[in-house]
A = this chain, B = another copy of it.
Amino acid sequence: MGRHKGYDREEVLEKAMHLFWRKGYEGAHLQELVEVTGLNRFSLYKEFRGKDGLYEAAVDHYLGGLRHLSEVLNREPLGMANILEEVRLVVFSDFPYGCFMTNALTQQEVLNERIRKRVRDFVTASEQMVLKNLEAARLRGELSPDSDLAGLAKFIVTFDIGIVTFSTTQPTQEDKRRIYENFRLMLTRGTGVQSPGSGEASDAPAVLVNRTR
């Protein structure tokens, strides 16, 4: 009953998300959102009830997409290799606009409280995923028993946030190689873990990664 929708909600969200991603909440004007999504204003309001709602839906869309993107940190066997792989993917991502969620961290003053909480919770969730791998790593003897795992998880997430933001300066491939290699050395020598060595980028996803599609 009724006319068919001329748009696909997920496609619209994907496009809207990318505009918010590049321009930020205030920087992404409704006119641009209409143009880039192809969705007209009326339908946009009916579906998302305004700019706030669209942004919030875009956050959900991003988070939903992360379910399969976080597979690196969730895949067995858990341990340091997963963490290094995740960081490697983040470092070698070619998307130069940071991370949708961590960009939002510096926009909290113009976001409503609910979204602000969502954004902060994302950081906590990332920590938890890293921590899970660290705990497994300790059980497997990759880390000394007295390591501060929670602190180490925070350190790693902090570095992730740093690298996605640093990526906006358009570092060269060589720059990225050196940054990752130094991180790997720090982490392995600093914790005494066995290292899987450095490598090239792949298309696989990561937690704080710059999703390009």
Q: Flag whether A163 is at the interface (Cβ < 8 A).
A: yes
Size of A's binding interface in residues, CB under 8 A: 51
- With A182-B151, A183-B155, A189-B189 given, is the CB distance from A27 to B109 under 8 Å? yes
Nearest-CB residue, chain B, relative to A91:
B158
A104 CB, min distance to chain B CBs, angstroms: 9
- Measured CB to CB, the closest approach of chain B to A151, in angstroms, equals 3
- Measured in the bound complex, the distance between the Cα atoms of B24 and A124 in whole Å is 24
Contact of A168 among B105, B150, B186, B188 (CB under 8 A): B105
Q: Are B108 and A106 in contact (CB under 8 A)?
A: no
**Quick one: which of A140-178 are within 8 Å of B by CB?**
148, 150-152, 154-155, 157-163, 165-166, 168-171, 175, 178
* A36, CB-defined interface residue at 8 Å: no
Judged by a CB distance under 8 angstroms, whether A60 is at the interface is no
Instruction: Judge if A120 is at the interface, Cβ distance under 8 Å.
Output: yes
Query: Which residues in B have their C-beta under 8 angstroms from that of A24?
Result: 24, 26-27, 106-107, 109-110
What separation, in Å, do the CA atoms of A181 and B150 have in the docked complex? 12
Residues A168 and B23 in contact in the complex (CB < 8 Å), given A159-B162, A163-B162: no
Residues of the B chain whose Cβ atoms lie less than 8 Å from the Cβ of A191 = 186, 189
Q: Are A148 and B178 in contact (CB under 8 A)?
A: yes
Determine, out of A37-45, A48-56, A72-80, A95-103, the stretch whose residues face the partner at the interface: A95-103
Nearest first, the 3 closest Cβ-Cβ pairs linking A and B are: A162-B162, A151-B178, A186-B190
**Does chain B have a CB within 8 A of A57?**
no
A117 to chain B, nearest CB (A): 11
The answer to whether B190 and A185 have CB atoms under 8 Å apart is yes
A187 contacts B by Cβ under 8 Å? yes
Q: Is the CB of A178 within 8 A of B166?
A: no
Bound-complex Cα distance A112 to B123 (A): 30
Report the minimum CB–CB distance from A139 to chain B (whole Å): 20
